Amino acid sequence: MATIHGSLGETVPDATVTDLNPAQRAHVLAEALPWLLHYRGKIVVVKYGGNAMVDAGLKAAFAADMAFLRTVGVHPVVVHGGGPQISEMLSRVGLEGEFRGGFRVTTPEVMEYVRMVLFGKVGRELVGLINKHGPFAVGTSGEDAGLFEATKRYVTVDGERVDIGRVGDITHVNAGSLLDLVDAGRIPVVSTIAPDASGEIYNINADTAAGALASAIGAERLVMLTNVEGLYTDWPDRGSLVSRITRRELEEIMPTLDSGMIPKMEACLNAIRTGVRAAHVIDGRIRHSVLLELMTEGGIGTMVAEDWDDENGAGTGDDADHGDGAGTPGTGHRDDTTAHGEDHDDH
């Protein structure tokens, strides 16, 4: 059964962190030790999107989280969207943005702006923010070294097949080039544009790209930042929070999800089906949300796994502490609300 919790209430303000005395700070660090040991040497793919991409404080906190993970021996790989920035650019040049079936309709003209914004603006900015903490991040895109190969995607809207232009699905991931960066101690920051076999460039939804990449490179976890707390089973009933859910349970409720959430949950499902241990949907409006989800017992979002009772599921991989996940690194129960609806924070 999916685990449901009510609302946590209000987010603890950042100022309270500075109020901790030295002993309390030491306790916080010690509490993170099991998670630090668990994730050390493992790849975590993080999809960067939503408000975390537009608020200066959230951007800085996310960059610090990535540098922290890298410093303690985790291998973060960032896949970023650019929905807010793309929409702003299109509005500036007088082009109307349209979404069908959860995906941005991408004409050849829109594609040029998508390409410019993703790699030239969003990716470069994030690389710069991470590298304030050390020479860690390297920008790349699906075009570089044949990282992604794509094919045209169609969507179904009201039972009809709809052409949404230069929008693609990833058909192949050349993981070698990206893993070379990981092995060199770098944090790849991936812009999700990709060519097809003939060289035509497509806009790839960052959610689906993150899921495909996590599967291809053998990631331990997939983490999706959103503009909401996670997943509701009965939106707008805020008591229907899902803190954790199995793959089968998620498959059952997929037809009821809002269009903006569908690509995110599809990515989670595909990642779990292809060997990623667990996928997380978290609230990117909370500073240091990635660390809160991965490095604390409670976590803050919705977690998807194959089976909570499976020793090879979402637990630590050890023989102990499998089952409901409470107190197990990366599987902790959550006490926050999550959301069934989702705005479009991607391409």
Phi then psi dihedrals of residue 127, to 5 deg? -60, -45
CA angle 288, 50, 286 (to 5 degrees): 25
Single-letter code of the amino acid located at 219 = A
* H-only helix segments in the chain: 15-18, 22-31, 33-39, 56-71, 83-92, 108-117, 124-130, 175-183, 206-216, 247-253, 262-273, 289-295
Amino acid letter for position 260 = G
123 is annotated as contributing to ligand binding: no
Beta-carbon count within 10 A of 63 CB:
25
* 212, 34 contact by CB (below 8 A): no
Please check if 82 is assigned to a binding site: yes
Q: 162-165: long-range contacts (C-beta < 8 A, 24 or more apart)?
A: 162/100, 162/101, 164/100, 164/101, 164/103, 164/104, 164/105, 164/106, 165/105, 165/106, 165/107, 165/108, 165/110, 165/111
Q: Is 104 annotated as a binding residue?
A: yes
The helix/strand/coil state of 295 is helix
Instruction: Dump the DSSP string for 305-346.
Output: ES-TT-TTSSS-SSSSS-SS-TTSTTT----S---S------
d(CA 281, CA 223): 6
Structural contact between residues 66 and 76, judged by C-beta atoms closer than 8 angstroms: yes
Ligand-binding annotation for 185, yes or no, is no
Task: Give the residue numbers of the binding site for substrate.
Answer: 82-83, 104, 203
Binding residues: 82-83, 104, 203
